[in-house]
Every structure is written in C-alpha cells, then in structure tokens.
Structure 1
Amino acid sequence: MFAMVLLVFFIGIVAIKARISAVKSKEISPKYFRLMQGYEAPEAITRSTRCFNNQFEIPLLFYVACTLYLALNIESKLGLITAWLFVGFRYIHAYIHLTYNHILHRMYTFWFAFISVMVLWVNLVIHQI
C-alpha cells in the first residue's frame, strides 16, 4: 500500500508543478483554479489532474482489500503477488498517462490492474469461506 501512496504523492507533485508552470508562463490564469472552468486548461494540467484523480478510483478497491488482508490476518502468496502486480500496473499506467499517453497502452495497463485487483478480492473471499 505504501508503494501506491508514494505514487499518489508523486503524481500530486507533478500536477502541482504543471499548474504552477502554466500560471508562471501565463498559459492560464490563476482564476481558472477557483472552479476548474472558464479557461481552456493546458494539456499538462488536464492530464496530470486526471491521472491524480484516477488514483482515487480503482485503487480504492486495492486499499480496502489490502486492509482486509491485514485485519483478517490472511497470509496468501497469490494475494501478495496480485497486490504487487496491481501496483506495478498502476505505476506503468501513470507513466503512460503522464508521458506519451497512448490510449491503447493505457487501456491495457488499466485492465491488467483491474484484473489484478479483482483476483485480489476473489482470493480474499475464498480465504474467508
């Protein structure tokens, strides 16, 4: 889970830097950030903000599953492997999103992460039956 938290902090810093850079270069007015509307945001801001927001969607299922594994004292090699696969795919997904942003590559890494977290949950349920 800590590896995911590091990813969130890193993407947050990238998003903040993109905003500061866009304001300093006068690509966008600081007023845009009041409601995130009224101006056409530069791509770097939109991309980094969306990438940051993505870290609070599917990863939420990961955090809950990991917390349950810990709370229920479940030791599972499959759970550990799929948790690390999820984290790895999320790092790759974020890298793609923040750099060359190829939609097909992003989609594949999203689905691999999605399947990983699904396996994590199925394994959790099986261990509780």
Structure 2
Amino acid sequence: MTVQAILAPVFAQVLLIFVLMFWLGRVRLAEIKAGAVTAGDVSMGQRNWQPRAQQAANAFSNQFELPVLFFALVPLALYTKKADLLFVVLAWIFVASRAVHAGVYVTSNHVPFRFRAYTLGALVLLAMWIVFAVRIFLAPIGI
C-alpha cells in the first residue's frame, strides 16, 4: 500500500475538521451580527450560543475525541508497515462515518442517525486497532 493511499483518509479527516471550523466561525459570526448573541454572552466560554451554533461547536469539538485514536493509529501502522488494503478501506469507512456524523450534527441533529454514524465509526476504529494489534503480536515488526 502506498503512503499516499494510507494518508489520504487522514487528509480527508483533517479537511473535515477545517470545514467544520470555518462553518462554526460563519454560524457564530452570523449570530453575533444578528444580535442573537453578544460577545459578552460568550466571552468566557459560556454556552450561550443559539442551538445552531452550539450544534456546529459540538460537531467541531467531537472531531478531537474519537478521531484522536485514528490519528494515533495511522502513523503507527505506517511506521510498522502494517497498513494494507483492509486498513485503508476501514480508514475510509471511519472518515465517511465522521463526515456523516458531522453532517447530521450541523443539520437535522437527529440523534438516532447521529448515534448510528458515531457507533459505526467507533466500531470500525475498534476493528482497525484490533487488526493492528493482532498483526503486531503475531508477526515480527519489519522495521
């Protein structure tokens, strides 16, 4: 598997994070301009944002929870040469689940759909870690 193929899902996940960051900024700025929220209402991190802005903030913040385990695994798999086609396919499924999760969060925020997307991503990431661990412990590291 090429380095580009292994890292492409990482770049996609990073892109998702930046898209959510800019989305969040746009939504928050719009609320401040509209007078729905004042800078003083949120200057100390209070959660006084309107629901739409809070949804965007939650979607953005969530990208620094479960994906941290993804960002830790990819360089380990790359370094140990344990990333293959299965790894890349699972990585893309994980990233797709994160995109769906974020999309649901910033639009309908339908909790059952959001939960399914989150659960899919969590299970895929768990499978990635299990496969990686099995490969590490059952085969010598060819570094």
**Fold match, TM over 0.5?**
yes
Alpha carbons 1:78, 1:123 under 8 Å: kept: no
In 1, Cα distance between equivalents of 2:48 and 2:122: 31
Map 1:11-90 → 2, pairs under 5 A: 11-37=20-46, 40-90=48-98
* Structure 2, unpaired ranges of 5+: 1-9, 138-143
- Is it true that 1:103 corresponds to 2:95 in the alignment? no
| Matched letter for residue 68 of structure 2 | L
Residue 75 of structure 1: how far off its partner (Å): 3.1
Unaligned runs of 5+ in 1: none
User: Matched residue of 1:31: which SS?
Assistant: helix
Q: Distance in 2 between matches of 1:75 and 1:44?
A: 39
| Structure of greater Rg | 2
Query: Which contiguous aligned blocks of 4+ residues in structure 1 show a shift greater than 3 angstroms?
Result: none
How many aligned residue pairs are there? 128
Shift of 1:109: 0.4
Q: Any conservation in 2 of the 1:89–1:113 contact (CA below 8 Å)?
A: yes
Is the contact made by 2:42 and 2:48 (CA closer than 8 Å) also made in structure 1?
A: no
Q: CA RMSD in A?
A: 1.1
Relative to the length of structure 2, the TM-score reads 0.86
**Post-superposition offset of 1:78:** 1.7
CA distance in 2, matches of 1:29, 1:124: 48
